[in-house]
Amino acid sequence: MYSKIKNKSKLYRREAIEGYLFALPWLIGLCTFTAYPLIASFVYSFFDYNVYSYMKWIGLGNYISLIKSDELFWTSLYNTVYYTIFAVPLGMIVGLAIAVLLNQNIKGLALFRSIYYLPAVISGVAVSILWIWVLDPNFGLIATILGYLGINSPNWLGDPLWAKPALILMSLWGAGGSMIIYLSGLQSVPTELYEAARIDGANSFQCFLKITIPMISPVLLFTLITGLIGSFQVFTQAYVMTNGGPLNSTLFYVLYLYRKAFAFMQMGNASAMAWILALITGILAYLIFRTSSKWVYYSGGLK
């Protein structure tokens, strides 16, 4: 009996060791490229550190200097919040609208779904270069369309008034990514609910408002959270298309963080900005989760 228990314990130990060995490359990558940079950035945020010199402890000095004396910090935060307020809801609305259209029983549906999803998988740099041409005020696609309507195209990327709206408009290019998620949610809604509603005299809009929206509300919650986090990390478009201009109107938070770290070599300041961003997104996500019980419906009821 004792020998059987001993053999089992050896077998379990061997299986555990083999499991850890198979997971070792992932664990090394996690510690090297995720855990260490995360801990190091938190430590650096309390030091005056520019890579070329010794670290000097300044406590909360980086945080205080950003909040009290760095005007560009507040400019970048304002630009990012402005972008988030408009880009996230618009992206959700457009993605849901496309999903509803592609949830119909029509010929060539798979082709249409592929076409709408394709922009979501194209490289951000390539898309940014493409949109520089599309938004050109002289010969761009939008300028040509507005010209046919007798409207002068604004200088989208050269005018501080239009630069952020231009990038918000460009963000709709990737709505196909959320469209796939919404489409999955729409196809999970029981058809019996629609049949019962139509028997009771409900029209299509009432069915959408009273059945579709509540039933896919968990999907809406997911896309809202991921969209919020993604919008606070917008970087590539502004870096490639405007480099923060004109007049810092597209100087987004992560772009300014990048400048702090790799242009000004202020690693302590940049690390403090990263943790402030993590705090902001964490608080916003927490507030959304706290209020989700009032509008998110699960199969067992509201949660």
pLDDT tens figures, 258-272: 999 999 999 999 999
Task: State yes or no: pLDDT of 71 exceeds 80.
Answer: yes
> Span 221-229, mean pLDDT?
94
Reported confidence tier of residue 87, pLDDT bands at 50, 70, 90: very high
Among candidate residues 301, 285, 284, the one with its CA nearest the CA of residue 293: 301
Reported confidence tier of residue 54, pLDDT bands at 50, 70, 90: confident
pLDDT tens digits for 119-175?
A: 888 878 999 999 999 999 988 999 999 999 888 899 999 999 999 999 999 999 888
Task: State yes or no: pLDDT of 63 exceeds 80.
Answer: yes
Q: Which pLDDT belongs to residue 176? A: 85
Max avg pLDDT among 74-88, 101-115, 191-205? 74-88
Task: State yes or no: pLDDT of 254 exceeds 90.
Answer: yes
pTM for this predicted structure: 0.89
Mean predicted lDDT score pLDDT of the chain: 90
Eight-class DSSP state of 140: S
| Residue 55 structure tokens | 């670290």
Please determine, looking at this structure, whether the domain spanning 65-302 carries the CATH number 1.10.3720.10: yes
Reported confidence tier of residue 4, pLDDT bands at 50, 70, 90: low
End-to-end Cα spacing for the chain: 51
DSSP per-residue codes, 13-40 = HHHHHHHHHHHHHHHHHHIIIIIHHHHH
Task: State yes or no: pLDDT of 94 exceeds 80.
Answer: yes
Structural domain boundaries in the chain: 2-44, 65-302
- Write the CA distances from 79 to 84, 135, 168, integer angstroms: 9, 20, 11
Reported confidence tier of residue 299, pLDDT bands at 50, 70, 90: low
**231 φ/ψ angles, rounded to the nearest 5 degrees:** -70, -30
Q: Which pLDDT belongs to residue 119? A: 85
Q: Which pLDDT belongs to residue 246? A: 92
Reported confidence tier of residue 5, pLDDT bands at 50, 70, 90: low
Q: Which pLDDT belongs to residue 181? A: 93
Q: Which pLDDT belongs to residue 114? A: 85
Task: State yes or no: pLDDT of 301 exceeds 80.
Answer: no
Q: Which pLDDT belongs to residue 191? A: 87
